[in-house]
Amino acid sequence: MNSPSQTRIPFKPMMLAGALALALSACGGGGGGSGPIGFLPPASTTPPPAAQPPAQPPAAQPEPGQLVSKARFTPNAGTTEGSSDASTAIALPDNFMIVADDEANVLRVYPRGGGAAVKEWSYELDGPKLTKELDLEAGTRVGDTLYFTGSNSNKKDGADAASDRSHLFAVRVSGTGAATAFDYVGQFALLEAQLVTWDSSNAHGLGANRFGFAVSAAAGIAPERVDGFSIEGMTSSPGDTALWLGFRAPQTGTTVRSKALIVPVQNYAALVGGTATQATFGAPIELELGGRGIRSIDKGTDGNYLIVAGPAGAASPDVDRNFALFAWDGNPNSAPVELSNDLDALRKETGGSFESVVEVPGPVKAGTQVQLLLDNGDTKWDGTTASKDLPPADQKFDGFVVRLGSPLVDTTPPKLRKASLAGLVGVNLDASLTLAFNEAVRLGSGSIVLHKADGSVVETFHANSPAARMQVAFNKLKLVPTAPLAASSGYYVTIDGNAITDPAGNAFAGINDATTLSFTTTAGATTLATGDLLFMAANAEAPDAYAFVLLKAVNGGTKVLFTDRDRKTGTNEFTGITNETAFFWTADRNLPAGTIVTIQTDVTGNPIADKGFTLGSPGGIGKSETVYAIAGGTIAGLGDGVAGQITAVGDYLATITLGGDAGSIPDAVTTAGTGMSFKVTPANQTNAIYTGSLDRSDLAAFAARVKDPANWTVRYAPEVGWPLSNDSLFGDKLP
């Protein structure tokens, strides 16, 4: 539904010379020159007529932009593969569709009206025989041939997966339903490497490293960032002369990474057919999608394109429209038009992300019905376990049939949802300020000014500030002062009324007072020693996370190094180890003794802390893990979502061991009794949580209770991890 400020204007169909009568699909879009091959499923199970829906639906039907029907899709009986993460879809005749899953190397055929899959074809056992996860994210149809590609991305934690995820392969398809047949054509396995070379060598003529592919695709960079690397959309160009690769990330730009990217592959048939080994890339296309990347791109029967756009990272609760539909005529010089469909309202019930359009069986205009599929891999149907972690038989995903809405007219300025430092006492001296808005933002002509409490100007930020000092990513604006702040000092930030706008040019009202964005810096970091911190919980099953309690009050800026790397005895404790997690947690304000903090590590980018913030490498927790908490130390190559070798350590504060022996426990921890251990033989995923009294009025007595294993509850795989509430393992137990 539209907000009062989102009025409708008549939709004028965009013209494209030689409009093609094609029905296409994909998470990545669709293409095909063989005419319509699928039908839009009706709300009932009655097969629909072949005729396309009228351009102007009858008054009795839903208004354009509203939901028509919803369906739920379940796996075929006996499958051993996941089926929650619908990542691309292609229509088949007689109301069926092919759906890929980015967590399983199979293609499935489903009835489009919902229910169980009727066919499963494994491209791990047949065809390209890809034994490792392809992370299939994009597909399209050209004639009777289906083209698919992996994300070409690193793994979620930034680990390099180029050899597994950079395949482009093709199969011919015939039949439908349970009788669908797949005939393997061939594959090409160097897509990512050749894209990186194309960009770094300036083969596109826009300047070497114009899109930063070499950095974005490098090991250690998580894919789901505006500067990450992930392909999620694919369709064919007008005339099917090229495959268009649609990027979720990177988004293009420097200070403001705002535009979505398409790269054409012109000799795609020769690549998968084995007659060419070098991809020929066409002129890149950059599109304004409101700060979003491409999750799907599909061609309608009029030759125009429908784009499903979404953020490079996870959807944010601060944003009103994380996902949006755009109509585009395929001309690189034409601006896509955002449609009024409210996709976030559709995903509100279960979460998930829109990554698939089954087909556009008509013109890309108001009133045309399309079927969208959700990737529900992270949806917790039972309230505790992500769908992709359930047994295969229990996994599922949702789909929606909607009518395309009219163009969205945005006349409302952005609203400030959060300011990271506002009102805090004890802010660290190297702090940065992050402003989060309800929509994508841009930099205007005005200034943002950091003042001391006496009104004197510390630093002025504006659109021409260096990228190291000012960055915009979707709805967030980050300000990084040039020099550290002064200790025990008051500061505030003002914003000119024309300094920040949305993509439509509506300006944020600004902030001119000295209190709204005010804060006070720390007197200095607190020195911690063994016994000042205790672990209180840890999950080795999703959600991978751990919690600790501060037994000493700390000032803002106090840092603790956390890692689950296997410590060696002697002087070279972590030398040569760069896998697994390593990051610093920093108190973002003064925190009293007794504060309980939770950090979730199985995420993209920096681990997530419910109090304070982190910087470094995330990761999962395995069957035999020891997590170390260390005061002081250094980590080489430290950055957002990345960490190199731990080059020095300070004082060990505490440890927790799960499942089996891993690393060695420092003597200081053993002496202080701050090393918790929960092991099982044989080693297995272990979840342990303190379940005693949380009364912290007497911290010495509380610490004694936490150190007693009898006050903990422990469970082992396949049981799920203890749930998070408001990002905390104790969020439902604390006042």
Mean pLDDT taken over the chain: 89
Give the contacts of 145 (CB within 8 A, at least 6 positions apart). Answer: 170, 171, 172, 173, 185
**What's the mean pLDDT in 557-584?**
93
Q: List Cα–Cα distances, 545 to 550, 646, 687, in angstroms.
A: 17, 21, 10
Neighbours of 515 (CB within 10 A): 9
**What's the mean pLDDT in 402-413?**
96
Are 338 and 324 within 8 A, CB to CB? yes
Phi-psi region of 685 (alpha: psi -120 to 50; beta: other; left: phi over 0): beta
Q: Could you read off the pLDDT of 489-528 as tens digits, one per residue?
A: 999 999 999 999 999 999 999 999 999 999 999 999 999 9
Which pLDDT value is given to residue 224? 82
416-521: what fold?
Immunoglobulin-like (2.60.40)
Which pLDDT value is given to residue 673? 96
CA 310 to chain centre: 9
Which pLDDT value is given to residue 19? 32
- Give the architecture-level CATH label for domain 67-191+230-248+263-403: 5 Propeller (2.115)
Question: pLDDT grade, residue 54 (50/70/90)?
Answer: very low
Q: Which residue has the higher pLDDT, 9 or 734?
A: 734
Residue 30 pLDDT > 50:
no
Which pLDDT value is given to residue 157? 55
Question: pLDDT grade, residue 16 (50/70/90)?
Answer: very low
Are 724 and 718 within 8 A, CB to CB? no
Coil/strand/helix, residue 536: strand
Question: pLDDT grade, residue 735 (50/70/90)?
Answer: confident
Q: Which residue has the higher pLDDT, 640 or 198?
A: 198
Token output for 643 = 């960490």
Give the contacts of 60 (CB within 8 A, at least 6 positions apart). Answer: none
Residue 51 pLDDT > 80:
no
Q: Which of 126-135, 429-438, 660-669 bottoms out in mean pLDDT, i.e. has the lowest?
A: 126-135
Q: Taking the alpha carbons of 530, 534, 540, 544 in that order, is the dihedral positive or negative? A: negative
Q: Which of 43-47, 343-347, 424-428, 705-709 bottoms out in mean pLDDT, i.e. has the lowest?
A: 43-47
Q: What are the DSSP E strand ranges found in 410-502?
A: 416-419, 425-427, 433-437, 442-443, 448-452, 457-461, 470-473, 476-479, 490-495, 500-501
Q: Which of 127-131, 186-190, 437-441, 711-715 bottoms out in mean pLDDT, i.e. has the lowest?
A: 127-131
Q: Taking the alpha carbons of 379, 380, 386, 391 in that order, is the dihedral positive or negative? A: negative
Backbone angles phi and psi of 134, in degrees to 5: -75, -25
Angle, CA of 309, 315 and 318, to the nearest 5°: 115
Token output for 148 = 């698919």
Give the type of residue at 13.
P
Residue 374 pLDDT > 80:
yes
Tell me the HSE value of 339 on the side-chain side, using a 13 A CA sphere: 30
Question: pLDDT grade, residue 604 (50/70/90)?
Answer: confident
Are 536 and 547 within 8 A, CB to CB? yes
Q: Could you read off the pLDDT of 200-235 as tens digits, one per residue?
A: 999 999 999 999 999 888 877 778 888 889 999 999
Are 595 and 550 within 8 A, CB to CB? yes
Residue 115 pLDDT > 70:
yes
